[in-house]
Structure 1
Amino acid sequence: MSAADEILDIVDENDRVIGQAPRGRVYGEGLRHRCVFVRARDAEGRVFVHRRTPTKLVFPSLYDMFVGGVVGAGESYDDAALREAEEELGVSGLPRPEFLFKFLYDAGPGGSWWSAVYEVRCELPVHPQVEEVAWHRFLPEEEIAQRLSEWEWVPDGLAAHERLRAHRATG
């Protein structure tokens, strides 16, 4: 089964499941679905940052400070967060990512998905998927802040980053 054939839950503005469709149709028709964003930190607290491959369906060749992806039909956010983090980092045996918050990402018609944000400590050597990750490094927060204006970042990851900063400021 190709990624485009993967079945996803379609959700409404309140994150209630209203149907299911293959990923290719979800993306092609801009149907609202579910995604997870996992901030992975190493033993020194640095954040895993990567550049997506040019073959990615969504946001090819852009930088991201989260690993993650779509939540499969019937899959929980928590299970998707662990699965996606292990897949993208190329590890197994990660601790379960800690749920932080959820928000509705909305970039206008056809660009809306429920987004659950997590954090996980990854002290294992990473071996990112070559199909997903063109470049990677663990970077300190200060360097990420500097690179925000220099690199082209995935817009949903930037939205998650801004909300995470606000979440930490109030929490």
Structure 2
Amino acid sequence: MTNPEDEILDVVDDRDEVVGTAPRSEVYRQGLTHRCSFVLVRDPQDRIFVHRRAATKSYGPSTYDAFVGGVVGTGETYAEAAVREAEEELGVSGVVPHRLFKFLFSEPGLSWWCDVWEARWDGPVRPQVEEVDWHDWLTEAELDRRLTEWEFVPDGREAYRRYLAHRG
């Protein structure tokens, strides 16, 4: 398995147009804008897959998230990354996400375009241990309560806020 820090990412501008490429480690070290896909996954009871990120993650270690996903590799589309990341993190195959919206997330020294998707999954999951330390399916009311009690990764928190506004 290759080191995720060596993964080559597209570097993009404020219009989400590719302006170059760089290893993930350099992208994060220099705060270069790149691309990520986020997938909110619901089960047949309409609960949301929520997980605690692995302690080894470079961004947001041991924080909670209501989205699975991650960086878009160089030359990869947002759609390809959404499927790949959802399947990897859930430990399944056959995820069919549908696109909702995109926004630019930024905090001091970091920025990335977040392409937000939603998917349904009706089978068992086997979350990737390198990515997920804990998981459960929560109702929206349970998730809303946990957002005030647990530390959520900042980009996922912002994506969920926008998801609720987008849904109306």
Equivalent position amino acid for 1:98 in 2: H
State how far apart, in whole Å, the 2-side matches of 1:133 and 1:150 are: 19
State how far apart, in whole Å, the 2-side matches of 1:91 and 1:5 are: 25
State how far apart, in whole Å, the 2-side matches of 1:84 and 1:53 are: 15
2:62 corresponds to 1:61: yes
State how far apart, in whole Å, the 2-side matches of 1:126 and 1:29 are: 35
State how far apart, in whole Å, the 2-side matches of 1:13 and 1:56 are: 26
Structure 1 residues 88-103: aligned runs within 5 Å: 88-94=89-95, 96-103=96-103
The residue aligned with 1:30 is: 31
Deviation at 1:7, TM superposition (A): 0.5
The answer for unaligned runs of 5 or more in structure 2 is none
Secondary structure in 2 aligned to 1:72? coil
State how far apart, in whole Å, the 1-side matches of 2:164 and 2:94 are: 28
CA RMSD of aligned residues (A): 0.7
Equivalent position amino acid for 1:81 in 2: A
Deviation at 1:107, TM superposition (A): 1.2
Structure 1 residues 16-165: aligned runs within 5 Å: 16-94=17-95, 96-108=96-108, 110-165=109-164
The answer for unaligned runs of 5 or more in structure 1 is none
Q: TM-score, normalised by structure 1?
A: 0.96
Equivalent position amino acid for 2:7 in 1: E
Deviation at 1:64, TM superposition (A): 0.3
Equivalent position amino acid for 1:97 in 2: P
Equivalent position amino acid for 1:84 in 2: E
Deviation at 1:121, TM superposition (A): 0.3
Deviation at 1:156, TM superposition (A): 0.2
Deviation at 1:48, TM superposition (A): 0.2
Secondary structure in 2 aligned to 1:93? coil
Q: TM-score, normalised by structure 2?
A: 0.98
Task: Indicate the percent of aligned positions where both proteins have the same amino acid.
Answer: 59
Deviation at 1:111, TM superposition (A): 1.3
State how far apart, in whole Å, the 2-side matches of 1:133 and 1:10 are: 26
Residues 110-141 of structure 1, C-alpha deviation per residue, up to 9 Å, x if partnerless? 21100000000011210001111000000000
Secondary structure in 1 aligned to 2:148? coil
